[in-house]
Structure 1
Amino acid sequence: MEVWDGEIPYVTPFRRGGPATVSSRNLPFALVLAYLGVVVAVDLVTAANLRLDVFAALAPLTAAVLCTYRQTVFVGILDFCLMVAHHAVLTSDVAVNRVGSFVGNALMVGASIAVAWLRRDGDALLERVRATGEAAQRALLRPLPLRTGSVVVDGFYVSSQREALVGGDIYEVVDTPYGTRVLIGDVRGKGLGTLGAGAAVLTAFREAAYHRRDLESGVRAMEQGLYRYHRSAAYQATAGASADDVAQRASEEFVTALVFGTAEGPAAAPGADGEVPVEFVDCGHLAPFLIGSDGAVRELRTPDPGLPLGLGDLSPQPRIARRVALPADCRVLACTDGVTEARDPRGGFYPLAERLGTWAALPTPELLAELRADLDAHTGGRLQDDAAVLVMERAPGCDAAGAVSG
């Protein structure tokens, strides 16, 4: 068993800040009403032969684009009543002008309401599609935090693709008869195009976690699941027109992963030195960080990390689980390279180790909130890659036998 031995990096304090944005659904409505009021006021004080109803008609048209359906109907009816009353009833004695004003304004208002109706239906359809997509994505990646008998895993996930909840990063926590199994991984690429490979690895992990006692065989099952996905007819239909194109794309699609395993029951209880055994297999992923109760932040590196999933055939050496003893009160933070390689406007990488040292004494929810906000501030809210962060710690109330007490 290995016991962690490392250095504590020097940490400098910093400040975080960013512009606040306030949005209101009623602001466009108020602006449209103000515009209509100005046009009506000018129309009333100018000569009768100077007609401004064409300019007033821009109010319902603008409302149809920016406001809700009910607000558009209100603006349209108000515009129609004001313009018809002024140009067709009060100031015109010519029948043709009265009919023209009535018909013209009615057509403009009707067109505006029709546009607003179509826009409302389109928004409703988009909302249903978004809700369906969200349900499908949540089935792939369950919302955090996740808890087993002895471990609580919290974190966050940010997709680089707009309107998407998931992308190229994956994670899972499984409570098995052999202990807790935790996965974090990163599919090469980003966005929704990586969902197939990520789903293949996740499915294999969930199945293997219940039927494979050791981590090494579970990792082999995950890699086999990725190979099966690359050989599937659906993948080959989208990968390219020729077998060479399919082979080329499959060879370039791999998954870096960290798989953690903790025991259950008496085997998970801290020893006389207050440490608990943890196993993990590194498949070419970023090294995790250990956050001690004393505020120390240390990086847990493996001397020989394995190849990413999908590239295992390139090496004759099998992936080996490393066994370490960690303090029972420490936390383990694992992330994907979307965090460490996030760049600021000047091209600087995100200094994760320094930031963690600043927040090491915070409870996990607060630490994650600070990290998420600071990552947004560092990148200006424009992540170039998907980002996932997991923080693992022993569950509160976990007794010496490794079960939840009370």
Structure 2
Amino acid sequence: MGAGRAAAEHRQWDEQHPWPPQWLRYVPPALVVVTMVLDQVTPSRYFFGSLLSASVVLALFTYPPLGVLAVGAAGCVLLVVTEWLEDYIGPMTIVALTVLATVTVLSASLCVVRRRAESRFRRVQAVAEAVQLALLRPLPDRIGPLRLAGFYRAADDEALIGGDLYSVRPTPFGIRVIVGDVKGKGISATQTVATVISSFQEAALLHPSLSQVAERIDVALQLDRDSPPSEPMGDGRPAYTPGEAAGPVDEVFVTAVLLEFTADARAVRVLDRGHQPLLTVRHGTASVVESDHSLPLGMSDLLTAPPRTVTQTLDPGDILIAYSDGVTEARDSAGTFYPLRERLQDHCSSSAGPVSPTRLVTFIEEDVARWASTLGDDLVAIAFQPAPSGGE
């Protein structure tokens, strides 16, 4: 689930909606036939042989180079045969054959370039997908005593990840989680996403408290913010040298919530760094989890007091939901924000049986898509539930 689910849906969409569409393969030969028929049924003063060049150009998008040459050769042969049957091979025929042969050779050459570019694009796409999935790893259905499910949608349709982030990691201190939202969105925010996730995954294994984990991420973001540009100048010298002012630096911060589930997952410690409030679904009722709201990660120098960690108990069957503001800021046609808690409440009240994390995040994903015709921000939502004591 998570980014892995988005990748699978990307591949499924590409398989169901190939480009160019399959029907385009039949257009070049059909156009050749139509051209010949028109040339036969119309008076000799009308000449349609020039349309054969269009069939070759269309073949460029769907056929291999040999196929393009075959379409062009077939057009040349049929043009000569047609004009010979009419006993008229004049200057227009010679011109049409010259143009058709030239277009055929050029189209076949462009087809070679197109296929090489497509092959390179597929390789780059595969590498990009592997890198993105290594950054935001697919969520398992269960980690120890904790069931979980989630979905992820990037604002950029061509990307698997954007400015939202998540990571779930078993540690000696319990199962630790971060769900966050980087300033900015889309693929341009992924550098900060990489910094936060890598810092979290390391710090979560080493530091006994969530506050220390957050501090480690704060330091990493501070280093990112203070890093000088690395592009060289036109004369080969670096754009920045020690002792020079680095110039104005963009703000780098991340709203995030850090979670630490106990060994039996019946309690969770929550450190809120400026993120959306958590929700719990308990006995069919959706409610907001109270937490100590603090400044985002990357702004620790502005804190007047250390952020406080709050503990929330979880009963059997409870579901804890973490999400980004892309969910609650999705708007309908009237400009109304998506009311997540109210929609969850209605859904849980109308559900016949118990609600599972998978069913819950599937409902949120589909309901947000129904609510908002277009999604202008990255979205992430993850649901957590303690597994029954029997391990079922």
> Of the candidates 309, 314, 325, which is equivalent to residue 337 of structure 1?
325
Aligned equivalents of 1:375, 1:161: Cα separation in 2: 17
Higher relative contact order (CA closer than 8 Å, sequence separation 6+): 1
- Residue 64 of structure 1 corresponds to 60
Aligned equivalents of 2:318, 2:69: Cα separation in 1: 60
- Residue 180 of structure 1 corresponds to 175
The one-letter code matched in structure 2 to 1:138 is L
- Residue 114 of structure 2 corresponds to 119
Query: Residue 387 in 1 paired to residue 379 in 2?
Result: yes
Q: Are the structure 2 counterparts of residues 368 and 221 from structure 1 closer, same or farther at C-alpha, using a change threshold of 3 Å? A: same
Aligned equivalents of 2:256, 2:245: Cα separation in 1: 28
> Of the candidates 258, 280, 291, which is equivalent to residue 270 of structure 2?
280
Deviation at 1:285, TM superposition (A): 0.3
Deviation at 1:28, TM superposition (A): 2.2
- Residue 257 of structure 1 corresponds to 256
> Of the candidates 41, 45, 58, which is equivalent to residue 45 of structure 1?
41
The one-letter code matched in structure 2 to 1:299 is V
Query: Residue 300 in 1 paired to residue 289 in 2?
Result: yes
Deviation at 1:151, TM superposition (A): 1.6
Aligned length: 361
Q: Percent identity?
A: 29
TM-score in terms of structure 1 length? 0.80
Deviation at 1:107, TM superposition (A): 1.8
Aligned equivalents of 2:273, 2:376: Cα separation in 1: 23
The aligned runs of 1:288-327 (5 Å cut-off) are 288-292=278-282, 294-302=283-291, 304-327=292-315
Deviation at 1:148, TM superposition (A): 2.0
- Residue 169 of structure 1 corresponds to 164
Deviation at 1:208, TM superposition (A): 1.0
The one-letter code matched in structure 2 to 1:306 is S
Deviation at 1:45, TM superposition (A): 0.7
Aligned equivalents of 2:90, 2:345: Cα separation in 1: 81
Aligned equivalents of 1:74, 1:359: Cα separation in 2: 59
Secondary structure of 1:57's aligned partner: helix
Query: Residue 366 in 1 paired to residue 324 in 2?
Result: no
Matched-pair contact (CA < 8 Å) for 1:92–1:98: no
The one-letter code matched in structure 1 to 2:85 is L
Aligned equivalents of 1:223, 1:172: Cα separation in 2: 16
Alpha-carbon deviations, 1:86-109, whole Å to 9, x = none?
A: 23x433454866655543322222
> Of the candidates 153, 161, 164, which is equivalent to residue 158 of structure 1?
153
Deviation at 1:51, TM superposition (A): 1.8
Deviation at 1:50, TM superposition (A): 2.3
Matched-pair contact (CA < 8 Å) for 2:149–2:384: yes
Alpha-carbon deviations, 1:223-254, whole Å to 9, x = none?
A: 1111122223457999x98847434x1xx221
Q: Are the structure 2 counterparts of residues 368 and 324 from structure 1 closer, same or farther at C-alpha, using a change threshold of 3 Å? A: closer
Matched-pair contact (CA < 8 Å) for 1:76–1:112: no
- Residue 246 of structure 1 corresponds to 248
Secondary structure of 1:372's aligned partner: helix
Q: Are the structure 2 counterparts of residues 105 and 334 from structure 1 closer, same or farther at C-alpha, using a change threshold of 3 Å? A: same
Aligned equivalents of 1:146, 1:234: Cα separation in 2: 41
Q: Are the structure 2 counterparts of residues 184 and 107 from structure 1 closer, same or farther at C-alpha, using a change threshold of 3 Å? A: same
Deviation at 1:199, TM superposition (A): 1.4
Gaps of 5+ in 1: 1-21, 270-275
Aligned equivalents of 1:166, 1:324: Cα separation in 2: 30
Aligned equivalents of 1:236, 1:48: Cα separation in 2: 66
The one-letter code matched in structure 2 to 1:351 is P
Aligned equivalents of 1:236, 1:86: Cα separation in 2: 63
Deviation at 1:346, TM superposition (A): 2.9
Gaps of 5+ in 2: 1-15, 234-238
TM-score in terms of structure 2 length? 0.83
Matched-pair contact (CA < 8 Å) for 2:228–2:246: no
Secondary structure of 1:389's aligned partner: strand
- Residue 80 of structure 1 corresponds to 76
Query: Residue 377 in 1 paired to residue 377 in 2?
Result: no
- Residue 219 of structure 2 corresponds to 224
Deviation at 1:220, TM superposition (A): 1.2
